[in-house]
Amino acid sequence: MIQDISYYVHNKNIIPLNIDRHIIKVHELTLLFSGKMTYFVNDEEYSMTSGDIIYVPAGSMRQRKTGNVENNYISINFHSSEKIDFEPLIKNCINEELKILLDYLDTVYAHPFNTNPKKIALVLEAIILQIYDNIAVSSTSQLATKIIDYISTNFRE
């Protein structure tokens, strides 16, 4: 699925630069831990707040406006041989499991000379799979969640 990561950055509590409107040749995931940013994907505006993820597919028109707000975020640009089926804006999707994977990616990138590109690609695949899981959980209705919890707790009765 993931062929390689062409760019990775974890900016902590900085005012990021705006990105001028252009076509991006790689896929981009930006995960916002704190702050606010506005992305334009194919000229549609998406306002990000803490906990949100933006996905920009390869070949899309991209632009970013950040204002004067400090942000803590990770941006990852990568090549993928498979289609990634995310909406551009994934609201409130960063949970503890995803943070663990992202912390590990931070650790791997802290030692770039010891980095195995295949290992990095597999970690990004795990991040993408976790995002899919988080989307599935958030789209499950509260009633369905209560029913599943009840059945799990009382399946022997």
pLDDT of residue 140: 63
- pLDDT, averaged per 10 consecutive residues of the chain (157 residues), comes to 91 91 97 95 96 97 90 96 94 95 90 78 94 83 71 79
Q: Output the six-digit token pair for 76.
A: 């990852």
Q: What pTM was computed for the model? A: 0.85
pLDDT of residue 139: 67
The 27-34 sheet, strands edge to edge = 2-14, 71-80, 27-34, 53-56, 89-90
- Give residues with Cβ within 8 angstroms of 60, minimum separation 6: 23, 24, 41, 42
